[in-house]
Amino acid sequence: MNGPVNGTVSRVVDVLVVGAGPAGLAAAARLAARGAGRVLVLDREQQPGGVPRHCEHRGFGPPGRRWTGPEYAARAAEAAVGAGAELRTGATVLGWAGPHTLDTTGPEGPERITARAVVLATGARERSRSARLVPGTRPAGVLTTGELQQAVYLYGRPVGRRAVIVGAEPVAYAALDALRRAGARPLAMVTGLPRSQAPLARAQRARLLGGVPLLTGAQVTELLGRPRLTGIRLRRGDGRSTVLACDTVVFTGDFTPENELARRGGITLDAGTRGPAVDAAFRTAQPGVFAVGSVLHAAESARVAAHEGALAARSVLRHLTGPAGWPDADAVTVRTELPLRWSVPNRLTPGAPVAGTFLLRTHRFLTRPTLRVTQDGRTLHRERHHRTAVPGRPVPLAGVWIPRVDPDGGPVWVGVG
Amino acid sequence: MTVTTTGPLPNAPYDVAVIGAGVVGTAVARELARHRALRIALVEAAHDVGEGTSKANTAILHTGFDAVPGSLESRLMADGSHRLARYAAETGIPVERVGALLVAWNEEQRAALPELAAKAGRNGRHDTRLLTPGELYTREPHLAPGALGALEVPGESIVCPWSTTLAYATQAVLAGTDLHLGCRVTGIRERAGHHELRCARGVLRARYLVNAAGLAADTVDGMLGHHDFTVTPRRGQLIVFDTLAGDLVRHILLPVPTALGKGVLVAPTVYGNVLLGPTAEDLDDKRATESTADGLAALRAKGRGILPALLDEEVTAVYAGLRAATGHEDYRIRAHPAQRSVTVGGIRSTGLTASMGIAAHVTGLLADTGLVLGEPRDLPPLRMPPLGRRAVRPCRQAALVAADPEYGTVVCHCELVSRAEIRDALAAPLPPHSVAGLRRRTRAGAGRCQGAYCGAAVTDLFERSDAGERV
């Protein structure tokens, strides 16, 4: 029985932003500065900032600044509050009570908040060992990067002595840093792919200077030990099986959108991203509900998320001040063919701004790929890329072809070759 | 009220020692604890209650409709399921009477349904009903196409197995039972009218003995000189799907049983997840509670054939438990009057259902053996935390949060567990010994992120509490 409960307080705001990470805070700051009225940002964590609040490495913030994650988180929150947005942390959104009404709770008790527009900025999480269906025992010492970083940077807890990192996306290297900080020895990085997904310099520094080998083409087939991890079994590319003795394993990357609120609200999800389907104005299929940041594309950098937040703010303002109206739910969808995984935006609606760039993802490395956009068998666009497309990292696609889309036609397909 | 985890054991002899604090042992201890005059020890090898098969099963409160009619198992399941349903309602153990559907996927299975209905009748369940395909798909619209019909068994229920064991143990402890954890029994000898239990933490003396050691029941029986049965662990692997899959299934979907076992089921859980499993693998190793690639692949293939949309949903957890099979069809519950002991063995897969029935039966056997029970009394009242999907979580209760804002401070976001609930569990009469034990008591970390968001915070609370700090 998850409905309203006696004693619930009600209030009304103009814009309710769910999630005070980079995307939500940037949207709130811009909305408040541009006079959107009462802008309320909620976050269920005790501190604002989202993922950056537990990323100690530098490189956050506008170009030229080299803020740490917590520095960035604090500044982003200050900017939103300074612009006039109300920021509430420790506030949990429980579910929908209406198209623009959400039930929340926190130390002040249950509340029901109605807004003229809702912005979902709920972010993404790394998939757990169970979600990845890794067999074996259920020992202590099995973490994701997010949990590891919180344990090390927020709680100063020891995490183990000998660790293996699963994955070689950029986030895996952040896990490497956190393990070192905690005094654990990183033994190896393991990936099923043929090489690292991180920038070359980063990957080489870890391997050559850090002495952490990258085992490619390798799958974790079993976790061993109880009650604490004693090792992981690997199947190497040549079919051999080996055991790496370790007391800690960190499952990194493999992000999935935090889409519960969107799903509970009946908001159409994109089949590829599993996040809300949106057009270039960050409009979901649900009138008055926008979505922004890594819930759309698990996961992008804080910089991309914040940039989207600012763009989405413009779109929300237009919705609040302009003529009433929302594009039809049966918009033309943008779909991808293997080896591409998904595209954002993934809906094309009349009246939406022409998306400067579509963000794509690939399942495997693609050397100098040519991207092809078609609709009903008609080629709309071809684009040759001069860089390798890397799994887990953004592959951009220019939006110049949008005017050529038939609004009454079938889905637009993006493929390779 | 005593729970010990370290240090020497008391010198004074107990009236009864119960070996094994799983769902059966705790139920027996609780039943005995109703008799004020008795001094009872509950002795457990692990550092928490319910650490064996009791924590890793299908979480179903059966009616016993398909038990062997006239067997002890049939009788104790019928008695136990009534008792536990009542007890759960009293104490707030999450339980839901969702009913089961035995789905027939071919003609042979459909033809078997009337005989199963008749068997249910011989087990005292006269409320089963045959469903047409139309009725079946109305009940379960997401079921894979091709089902030919089903037998409905209305009384089958889903239950929280962890709350059940914890409730029994807590109530026993509140009534005066001494619970000794981390206390593996390594030998038993008779001395001056007492059993002397050699334990990891010293010697414990008791006049009467109950062997409820589950997977180790044959080993403990061996210490008493009995070699009536051998426990062969039969592993069951299970997959727990995310609560967002919860709308896909309303009943416990059972396969029509075959000679090979009960097969793979799909069921809702009281927390709102969907459960797929179990496998049935006969093993030698009584510790082999790991999942395997083959097992998970087999379950997913079965699941796809039952509820295809389930396979698109995120997996929250995977676990495996070992049923204590003995090669016999029925329970192996036997009194040894000369020895003043009762063996409770072969409780394969229905122990949760029958636990309170077994407890009453064992208490009767002890009395027959000469134990003077004395007058029973009411046990101290107990209220378990509202963990089920049908309960109102504390963070949603305005009055509760107003009285104590920590009930509104949500720590585990996936399962909406507040800081106050974690604090309460850590300060309970039977506190957790591990983060996993805390998870079973509160649901903290049991959701889709598996601790990615809250793991560090929950571990911090646990470790500080374990170090003696008040959190």
On whether any CB of chain A is under 8 Å from the CB of B398, the answer is yes
A260 has a chain B CB within 8 A of its CB: yes
Question: Which among A6, A103, A147 is the top mutation candidate for probing chain B, defined by the most B β-carbons within 10 Å of its own β-carbon?
Answer: A147
Q: What is the pLDDT of residue A244?
A: 97
B263: tokens are 């097969």
Task: State the pLDDT at residue A2.
Answer: 43
Strands B232-241 and A101-105, by their bridges, are: unpaired
pLDDT score recorded for residue A99: 96
CB contact residues (below 8 A), chain A span 75-114, against chain B: 90, 92, 94, 105-110
Nearest CB to B456; choose among A129, A151, A227: A151
> A310 pLDDT exceeds 60?
yes
Q: What is the pLDDT of residues A319-332, one digit of tens each?
A: 999 887 898 777 89
Q: Report CA B357 to chain centroid distance, whole Å.
A: 14
Query: Which pLDDT tens digit goes with each residue over A208-240?
Result: 888 999 999 999 999 999 999 999 999 998 899
Q: Does the beta carbon of B72 lie under 8 angstroms from any beta carbon of chain A?
A: no
For residue A416, being part of any structural domain is answered with yes
Same-domain status, A264 and A246 = no
State the distance between the two ends of chain B, measured CA to CA, in whole angstroms. 22
The answer as to whether A114 is a domain residue is: yes
Question: Is A186 inside a domain boundary?
Answer: yes
Whole-angstrom distance, CA of residue B74 vs CA of residue B63 = 9
B118: left (phi over 0), alpha (psi -120 to 50) or beta: alpha
B402–A7 CB contact, under 8 Å: yes
Q: B291 and A135: CB-CB below 8 Å?
A: yes
- Mean per-residue pLDDT, A70-96: 98
| CB-CB contact of A342 with A272 (8 Å) | yes
Given this model, what pLDDT does residue A1 score?
A: 38
What residues of B are in contact with residue A1 (Cβ under 8 Å)? 390-392
Helix (H, G, I), strand (E, B) or coil at B217: helix
Q: What angle do CA B214, B220, B221 make, to 5 degrees?
A: 100
Q: Do A410 and A385 reside in the same domain of the chain?
A: yes
A133 belongs to a structural domain: no
Quote ipTM for the complex.
Answer: 0.95
The answer on A363 and A223 residing in a single domain is: no
Q: How far is A133 from chain B (nearest CA, A)?
A: 8
- Asked if residues B45 and B182 have their Cβ atoms less than 8 Å apart, the reply is yes
Of the candidates B296, B391, B399, the beta carbon closest to that of A133 is on B296
Euclidean distance between CA atoms B287 and B278, whole angstroms? 17
What pLDDT does B260 receive? 61
CB contact under 8 A, B456 and A127: no
Residue A168 shares a structural domain with residue A315: no
Contacting residues of B for A126, CB less than 8 Å apart:
452
Q: For position A3, what pLDDT does the model report?
A: 46
**pLDDT given at position A355:** 65
Q: Is B434's Cβ below 8 Å from some Cβ in A?
A: yes
CB contact under 8 A, B401 and A126: no
Q: Which residue of B has its CA nearest to A106?
A: B408
Of A210, A232, A253, which closes a domain?
A: A253
Residue B408: which of A108, A147, A256 has the nearest Cβ? A108
Task: Report yes or no on A320 lying in a domain.
Answer: yes
pLDDT band at A145 (very low <50, low <70, confident <90, very high): very high
Phi and psi at B199, nearest 5°, equal: -120, 165
For chain A, the straight-line distance linking the first and the last C-alpha, in angstroms and rounded, comes to 52
Predicted local distance difference test score (pLDDT) of residue B417? 98
Whether residues A168 and A24 fall in one domain: no
Query: Which of residues A190, A222, A253 is at a domain's end?
Result: A253
Contact by Cβ (8 Å): A147, A178: no
One domain, residues A230 and A313: no
Interface mutation target, options B241, B396, B459, B461, chain A, most CBs of A under 10 Å:
B396
Which of B244, B405, B406 lies closest to A263 in CB terms?
B244
Burial class (CB within 10 angstroms; exposed 0-12, middle 13-18, buried 19+) of B330:
middle
- For B459, which of A92, A107, A151 is closest by C-beta distance? A151
pLDDT for B1 = 64
**Which of A109, A125, A129 has the CB atom closest to B401's CB atom?**
A109
Is residue A41 domain-shared with residue A114, that is, in the same domain?
yes
Asked whether residue A273 falls in the same domain as residue A375, the answer is no
CB pairs under 8 A between A and B: 136
B-chain CB neighbours of A105 within 8 Å are 395-396, 401, 408, 410
B450 Cβ under 8 Å from any chain A Cβ: yes
Q: What are phi and psi of A350, to 5 degrees?
A: -65, 140
Q: Domain containing A201 — which CATH number?
A: 3.50.50.60
Q: Does A156 touch chain B (CB under 8 A)?
A: no
B12 touches chain A (CB under 8 A): no
CA distances B74 to B57, B80, B335, B345, Å, are 19, 10, 19, 15
The partner residues of A244 in beta bridges, in order of sequence, read A232
- Chain B neighbors of A256, CB-CB under 8 A: 314
Residue B82: which residues within 8 A CB-CB, separation 6 or more?
A: none
- Decide if A2 is inside a domain: no
Joined together, the tokens standing for residue A334 give 């943008």
- State how many domains chain A has: 3
> Which residues does B285 contact at the CB level (< 8 Å), separation at least 6?
B233
Residues A337 and A190 in one domain: no
CA–CA distances in Å: residue B95 to residues A12, A302, B156, B323: 38, 44, 10, 22
A222 inside 8 A of chain B by CB: yes
How far apart, in whole angstroms, are the C-alpha atoms of residue B206 and residue B186? 15
Q: Do B316 and A130 touch (CB under 8 A)?
A: yes
Report the gap between the CA of B451 and the closest CA in chain A (Å): 7
Domains and CATH numbers, chain B: 2-55+162-229+328-368 (3.50.50.60), 96-156+232-325 (3.30.9.10), 394-466 (no CATH)
Together in a domain, A63 and A37:
yes
What are the mean pLDDT values of chain B's consecutive 10-residue runs (471 residues total)?
A: 92 97 98 97 98 95 94 96 97 98 96 96 96 98 98 97 98 98 97 94 97 97 95 96 97 86 90 97 95 98 97 97 90 96 93 98 97 96 97 96 98 98 98 97 97 97 94 89
B365-404 pLDDT per residue, tens: 999 999 999 999 999 999 999 999 999 999 999 999 999 9
In this structure, are A258 and A153 located in the same domain?
no
CA angle at B165 for the pair B162 and B168, rounded to the nearest 5°: 140
Tell whether B244 is within 8 A of chain A (Cβ).
yes
CB contact under 8 A, A150 and B448: no
Amino acid at residue number B237? Q
Asked if B408 and A222 come within 8 Å (Cβ–Cβ), the reply is no
Residue B285 in contact with partner chain A when CB distance is under 8 A = no
Which of B293, B435, B449 is closest, CB to CB, to A125?
B449
Quick check: is A136 in a domain? no
Judgement on whether residues A336 and A314 belong to the same structural domain of the protein: no
Interval B68-102: pLDDT, tens: 999 999 999 999 999 999 999 999 999 999 999 99
A258: in domain = yes
Measure CB to CB from residue A105 to each of B290, B395, B459 and give the nearest one. B395
Does residue B280 sit at the A interface (CB-CB below 8 Å)?
no
Which of A225, A253, A281 is where one domain is finished? Answer: A253
Phi, psi for B136 (deg, rounded to 5)? -60, -45
Q: Which residues of A touch B449 (CB under 8 A)?
A: 125, 128
pLDDT at A130: 97
How far away is chain B from the Cα of A342, in angstroms, using its nearest Cα? Answer: 16
Chain B nearest CA to A224, separation (Å)? 8
Q: Which domain holds residue A120?
A: 9-126+254-326
